[in-house]
């Protein structure tokens, strides 16, 4: 029988003079040939499928960690996405609600202190109107032309009216101080006029003083002077308030 040569790796027949297997490329130069009768009793080992096992490699500073096989997903200890948060002690954690934001303008108006203002503005306006109304009555009931004193009294009524409007309009320390000076001037003039009128009434008879006060509109004029003085006192108190 003619001897036959087989590859020990893949089991394919080889030419007798072959040094490498044409199928798998294994080195078969030193492989002996066997008779055909012995071939029938040979057990051909099938080739190993899959990658050969690699020797373990020691972990180094740049060695990637071994990839573990995927594990089945487990439930998170405190619930998954969308679940209510729980505390580590088993009871549900209190829900946290976002707080409503406050508008910047409203917050600034609530935190910042209000600007300083001067009080007594309405009282001064009422006093100026009363003084002017009284002077109109004096002028209409007099037969003589307008006197300088009447014109001065009209100017005092206008000044008292203007001081009340200024007190209502100004804000801030510097404008308030200017309004206080104006109101102080009105206070001084009203006090001076009231003092002179009291002296004149004392020089008259009781009948003449009563007629001027009740019938001639003198009570309105005196009331306007007193309101101008009270307006300054009210505004002066606001200077020492926060």
Q: What gap in Å lies between CA 3 and CA 39, rounded to an integer?
A: 9
First to last CA, the chain: 128
Q: 189, 154, 179, 196: which is closest to 235 by C-alpha?
A: 179
DSSP 145: P
Check pLDDT > 80 for residue 91: no
| pLDDT per position as a tens digit, 145-195 | 567 878 888 899 999 999 999 999 998 889 899 999 999 999 999 999 999
| pLDDT per position as a tens digit, 32-90 | 666 655 545 444 455 555 555 565 555 445 455 555 555 555 555 544 555 555 555 55
| pLDDT per position as a tens digit, 203-235 | 988 898 888 888 878 899 999 999 999 999 999
Q: What gap in Å lies between CA 54 and CA 17, rounded to an integer?
A: 34
Compute the C-alpha angle 65/68/72, nearest 5°.
Answer: 145
Specify the residue for token string 């804000």.
171
Which tokens is 156 given? 């005092």
């Amino acid at each position: 029988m003619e001897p036959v040569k087989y590859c020990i790796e893949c089991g394919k027949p080889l030419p007798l003079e072959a040094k490498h297997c044409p199928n798998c490329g294994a080195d078969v130069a030193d492989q002996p040939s066997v008779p055909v009768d012995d071939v029938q009793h040979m057990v051909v080992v099938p080739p190993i499928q899959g990658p050969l096992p690699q020797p373990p490699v020691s972990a180094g500073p740049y060695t990637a960690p071994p990839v573990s096989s995927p594990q089945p997903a487990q439930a998170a200890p405190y619930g998954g996405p969308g679940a209510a948060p729980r505390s580590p002690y088993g009871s549900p954690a209190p829900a946290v609600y976002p707080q409503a934001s406050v508008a910047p303008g409203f917050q600034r108006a609530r935190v910042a202190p209000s600007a300083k203002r001067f009080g007594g503005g309405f009282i001064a306006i009422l006093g100026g109107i009363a003084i002017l109304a009284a002077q109109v009555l004096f002028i209409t009931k007099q037969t003589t032309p307008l006197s300088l004193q009447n014109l001065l009294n009209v100017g005092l009524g206008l000044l008292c009216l203007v001081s009340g409007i200024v007190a209502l309009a100004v804000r801030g320390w510097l404008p308030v101080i200017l309004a206080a000076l104006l109101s102080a001037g009105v206070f001084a003039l009203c006090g001076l006029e009231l003092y002179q009128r009291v002296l004149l009434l004392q020089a008259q008879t009781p009948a003449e003083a009563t007629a001027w006060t009740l019938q001639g509109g003198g009570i309105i004029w005196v009331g306007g002077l007193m309101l101008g003085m009270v307006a300054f006192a009210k505004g002066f108190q606001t200077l020492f308030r926060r």
